[in-house]
Structures are given as structure tokens and as C-alpha cells.
Amino acid sequence: MSLEKLRAALRSLKRYEQPYYVPTLWHKGTLGIEAVEPARYYLSIIESILDMPKAACIGEETNNTGSNAEHLSRGEWSRLAVVYNLFVRTATAFDHNQNRQLDLETPNTLRETGTFLKAIALLPYIKNLGANTVHLLPITAIGSDGNKGNLGSPYAIKNPYKLDERLSEPILGLTVEEEFRAFVEAAHRLGIRVVVEFVFRTAAKDSDWIKEHPEWFYWIKSHIQDRPQGAFDEERYGNPIFTAEELSQILEKVERHDFHNLPEPHAVYRSFFTEVPQTVELRDGRYIGRTKSGVECRIPGAFADWPPQDTQPPWNDVTYLKLYTHPHYNYIAYNTVRMYEANLAKPEYINQPLWEKIIGIIPYYQDAFDIDGVMIDMGHALPTLLKQSMVAAAREKNPNFAFWDENFAATAKSRIEGYNAVIGSMPFVAHEIRNLTKMLAEWAKDGVAIPSFATAESHNTPRAAARFGGGAAGRAFSKFIFGLSAVLPAIPFIHNGAEICEYYPINTGLGFSSDELQHFPSHRLPLFSAFAFDWERANEQVPLNDFIAKVMSVRQRYRDVLTNHSAGSMAVLSDGLSPVVVLTRQVGKTKLLYVGNANVEAREQIKIPLSTSRAVLEDLFSGKVLNVEANLLSVELAAGESALFEIS
């Protein structure tokens, strides 16, 4: 057992002579820091996990209510998930020696950046929040060519079959694979499932595959320069430039799902691309090829491929994989890497060895690490046949394996493709009461085609605690969202750091203004550089841990009602004009009333007419008891506060 190997390695470590500090929130639930002897500290947590009887993971246990007896197959346990989104490198980083910086190199000591060892130590903390599933951002080996920051993006994958060595603790003498196995084993002992995010459409520009399989990549002439931000020079490489008429035709055809003879990039752009080089060498950290005719070529950066008029410059650290080999379509554009041209996407043009390598990734992680599911980055942009093959291969090994899609639209299409959950649109509407109410009303009317994440933030968006000016208002908004997320027909999603009101974004990918982009330069973002959350002071706010744990325990108590996604199981009683959200959840005879104050600065009061014989109602979140007078329930809520009542 890898967890026992880890225990043995910790036992063999020499006693630390230098002070080593950890946040007390990790193990005591209070703010502050504490000096510990690190080997003993981590050893005690691992031994406590090993001493516990193994808990059942969701989908393995039998529901105590007797209904919906569960051994949920084909990944459908996802609808019961409460997710903690863990970016290991950042979430478990800490200034352990208190020298006011994160040391990247720590010879003969434990790392200050995040590791699997520290992630194991964080698992009881995660479980105490009420989470039963951990979603890991990519943990694979990271490339170097074009990287931003001092660590690089986990999405610039050098080799999907290898793990990021920086997530290991070299002093332990174990491989990073053994330490990740120990993490999954510890999670499973605690009843926590593990879902890992993967990228299958792109690779690092210095991917290990380039030297061995140059035919799996696109190549352009090495003298072609990249196009700067906002420029429209067609003599430089970037997203292909189309005329207004061409763009109109592209958008119209894609809207009709007509992928025959899609408008192609201009000839000048197509001329950038070369045949597959005969020789490839690594030169100053970059792969350079030479074709049969002697043309020197390089790996081009990927870019935002949709919509086609996007003017972002090429990304420096990743490139697109060449999924099809039709000689005419030897270029990167919307019609070759996303909205696949019908003349290209034919069986005879499939880059079969590459597809087989991609299809084998998930089964490898199932066999080697026993993971429970995957989140597929940009899964909706992969060829349907490739996705079907990936799903079939994974579920042949484990019929209960889950597939999640980084898709902002929660539609039946994802369900048909084999997915169990999607990100959905809530992170983009949660801070606007009218749009939030509109989304909830649509769920109530139509039901939920596929579960999405109930959250106001992800690693790509602004932090919830940074909304409305941050501070107390940001905390109030975060609290409102956590209360609401507990009662929705969706998957509560705790983005690491949200519980301690972390305001600094992981990445600025979506929903940031130009001023915010300047305030958060990319090279300083946690997605690219070393960063630690404010575990010691929680950004000068009261942590939301206890509140989250409470509302998630209530969700578990009423799980049959609150995880029901059918039309009619939810009714929205508020109109979006008031900052107070009112809705009911009902299955059978059990009916719940939720009231939430989205006003992040002031108290709100509302009177709700009820048809109930009860004279008093208890708020299941706070324990407060309210009187029902003349069939009216008067509820007063502080900024960001939520209440839930059983009114059956």
C-alpha cells in the first residue's frame, strides 16, 4: 500500500532542526500558525487515516432512507457529489520557514510549494467541509517552452503519462507516482472520490511526443513571427483573419451545424505550414525541425479558436495536436481543431496512432492510481468519435467511472456524449441577481438535463470574495452562494480558497475587465507562478468553513429532495427584482423553503405566504425558530445570509 510506504518514509526522516510552521486551520479549525515537527505532523495525520475504518464513497453506500438504493453506475454518483476543487501546487503551498516568501528550492527539506503529501494532510479538512469528491486541476508534467511565471501552467502538458515532479517531496525518497497513489488511497479511505482534470486537445510546445512523433503536430516555417495583441498583419502567425463576409458565412454555417466546405483561412496563412519534418532537434529549449526539402520549421502556439474573430495573440506554451491528417487541411484553424470540416473528419484521415495514445491515457490512470473520474478540458471541442472511444475504454475498466465536461452550457448533448456533469453557467451569472434568477427559473421549468456546478467562481473567473469591492461585501456574497448552492439541483463546488475568502484569482481567463487584467499580470497568477493562500489570516475575514459544513450537512440530510433534478422539484417564487431569492424544493411529501439575501451590504426582510399547519418553523441552517402568523412567515436576513425551512 502506497500510504503505508509514505508512513514508513516519514518515520525514517531525521528530526527537523529548523522551525517549520503550518496553518492551524488545516488541523484545528482556527486561524493562526503553529510550529510543528513536520515528519511527526504529517505522520500523525496519515496514521489517523490508516487507523480509521474505510468509509464508503458516494455511489457505494446504501441510502438510509431506503429509496434510490445506490450503486450508481456509469458515473451517475456525480449528481450526489459535493466537490472541493484542489489546485495542489497552490492550495497546499505555505511559507513554512516564515521567511516571507515561497522558496522554490528547498534542498534537504520539505517543499514550500504544494505537494501530494500536504494534500493528504488537507483531506480531513476537506472532508470536514462536507465535500465527498476532490477535483484536481491537471497534475501532469509541465513543459518549459514559452512558459509564463516561475512554474508554468499545469495546462501546458509535457507528457500526459507522467506526473509533475514538483508535486512530490524528494526528501521522502519515493516517486511522485507513489505519492499520488498514496493521495488517492487516503482519499478513498475517507470516502472521498478523486476526479482529475486532463487536456487532450493540446500539448506543451516542448512535449515529449514531438521528437518521437513529429507527425502528431502542426509545423510552421521558423522565420514566421507571431502576431502581437490587437494586430491584423496577415504576414504574421496567429488566429486566421477573415473578412466580414467570411465571418458571417462561418457563423451561419456553424449555427446550422453545416460543416461541409467551411470557409478556409487565406492562402497566405495556409502557406505558413510545412510538411512533417524529417529531423527534429531541441535547440535552446525549443524543438526545431527540418523538412525533406530543407525548410526549417517550428511548433506554432495554439490560440483561441472560437469565435474565429478572436484577436488574442498565440499562446506561448501550448500547441494543438494534429488529430486528422488530410494533406489539404494542414493548418490550425477553427475548421481543423474545433468545428471539424466534414471533408477532414473522416475515418480515413484519423491520426490513428495519436488517437490510440490519447484513448489510453485514462485507462492508464485507472490502473496506476485508481482514480474515479476525469474532467475533460474543452471536451466539447474534441471529435465525437474520439470522445466515444475514450468513454468506452474507461468504462470497460470501471463502469462507474465519471466524465465531467468543461462546458458552460448544460444541455442534453453532453449527457448523450457520456458526460455526467458540466461546469455550466452559474459562475458567470451568480453575481447578477436577475440573471441568476432567470437561470434558476429555467431549471425549475425544464428540469436539469445534466448536473452543473453550483458555484460563483472557478480557477478561470474572478473570485466570489473579490466581487462587490471585496472585504465584508465579498464575504457576504460568498456566504450567500454557499447557502444557495446547498439547496439547488446542481453540484456544490468549493473552489479552493473560497472558504477563506481568497480574493486573488488563479487565472484571468474569463470575465475580467481590462483594468483587472492589468492589476493581475499573468506572470504573477497562481496558474503560472508560486502562490499561497492566506491560510493564516483568511484575508482578514471570518472563514466560512463552519457555515459550509453546516449547510452541506443539511444537504446530506435532505439528499433525496435536494439532488432531484426533475422538472417540478423546484419552484422559484422570487422575480429577480428584489435581492431576496425565494424558492421551494419538493419531492413527495417533503417540501423545503429556501430564502437567501443576495444584498451583500444590508439586511433584508420579507413576508412569505405559506399554506402550512405549523405555528413555528426552524431554520435548518442557523437553528433559529420563527413564528408563522396568519399564514405568513416573516424572515429577516443579514447581508448574504440564507435560511432553509421544512414546511411539509
For 467-476, what is the mean pLDDT?
98
Who contacts 133 (Cβ-Cβ below 8 Å, separation ≥6)? 58, 78, 81, 82, 83, 84, 192, 193, 194, 195, 372
pLDDT at 85: 99
Nearest to 25 by CA among 131, 126, 97: 126
Residue 442 has pLDDT above 80, yes or no: yes
Could you give the domains of the chain?
2-66+79-202+355-561 (3.20.20.80), 208-343 (no CATH), 564-646 (2.60.40.1180)
Max Cα-Cα span within the chain: 89
Q: At what angle do helices 116-128 and 38-51 cross, to 10 degrees?
A: 50
Phi-psi region of 339 (alpha: psi -120 to 50; beta: other; left: phi over 0): beta
CA 170, CA 192: separation in Å to the nearest integer? 26
191-221 confidence digits (pLDDT tens): 999 999 999 999 999 999 999 999 999 999 9
CA 313, CA 231: separation in Å to the nearest integer? 9
Residue 71 has pLDDT above 80, yes or no: no
- 277: number of Cβ within 10 Å: 22
CA 300, CA 221: separation in Å to the nearest integer? 9
Residue 1 has pLDDT above 90, yes or no: no
- 31: number of Cβ within 10 Å: 17
227-239 confidence digits (pLDDT tens): 988 889 999 999 9
Three-state secondary-structure class, residue 251: helix
- 571: number of Cβ within 10 Å: 16
Q: Quick check: 584 and 571 in contact, CB under 8 A?
A: yes
**Mean pLDDT value across the chain:** 95
pLDDT at 614: 87
Nearest to 15 by CA among 118, 111, 110: 110
Q: Residue 320 has what DSSP assignment?
A: E
For 403-412, what is the mean pLDDT?
94
538-592 confidence digits (pLDDT tens): 999 999 999 999 999 999 999 999 999 999 999 999 999 999 999 999 999 999 9
User: 236 to each of 225, 230, 538, how far by Cα in Å?
Assistant: 5, 12, 46
CA 300, CA 314: separation in Å to the nearest integer? 8
pLDDT at 64: 42
Q: Which residues pair with 204 in a beta bridge?
A: 318
How would you label 424-454 residue by residue, b for 16+ Cβ within 10 Å and e otherwise? bbbbbbbbebeebbebbbebbeeebbbbbbb
Q: Whole-prediction pTM value?
A: 0.96
Residue 315 has pLDDT above 90, yes or no: no
Encoded amino acid at 576, one letter: G
Q: What is the residue whose three cell numbers read 484545528?
A: 28
Where does the pLDDT of residue 66 fall: very low under 50, low under 70, confident under 90, or very high at 90 and above?
very low
For 632-642, what is the mean pLDDT?
97
Alpha helices, DSSP H, located in 267-403: 267-270, 334-337, 352-359, 361-369, 384-397
Q: Which residues pair with 632 in a beta bridge?
A: 609, 629
DSSP 422-472: E--SHHHHTTSHHHHHHHHHHHHHH--SS-BEE-S--TTS--GGGGGGSHH
586-626 confidence digits (pLDDT tens): 999 999 999 999 999 999 999 999 988 889 999 999 999 99
pLDDT at 73: 81
Measured torsion, CA atoms of residues 425, 431, 434, 439, in degrees rounded to the nearest 10: 20
Residue 63 has pLDDT above 50, yes or no: no
Q: Quick check: 167 and 105 in contact, CB under 8 A?
A: no
pLDDT at 309: 86
Q: Quick check: 642 and 596 in contact, CB under 8 A?
A: yes
Q: Quick check: 503 and 466 in contact, CB under 8 A?
A: yes
Nearest to 450 by CA among 492, 482, 487, 420: 420
CA 193, CA 420: separation in Å to the nearest integer? 14
Who contacts 540 (Cβ-Cβ below 8 Å, separation ≥6)? 471
Q: At what angle do helices 545-557 and 471-485 cross, to 10 degrees?
A: 10
Encoded amino acid at 125, one letter: Y
pLDDT at 69: 40
pLDDT at 62: 54
**Burial tier of 561 (Cβ tally within 10 Å: 0-12, 13-18, 19+):** buried
Residue 331 phi/psi, 5-degree rounding, is -160, 160
C-alpha cell at 429: 451569472
How would you label 344-359 residue by residue, b for 16+ Cβ within 10 Å and e otherwise? bbeeebbbeebbebbb
Encoded amino acid at 60, one letter: E
Residue 314 has pLDDT above 80, yes or no: no
CA 524, CA 506: separation in Å to the nearest integer? 10
pLDDT at 65: 43
Residue 185 phi/psi, 5-degree rounding, is -60, -45
Who contacts 568 (Cβ-Cβ below 8 Å, separation ≥6)? 444, 447, 586
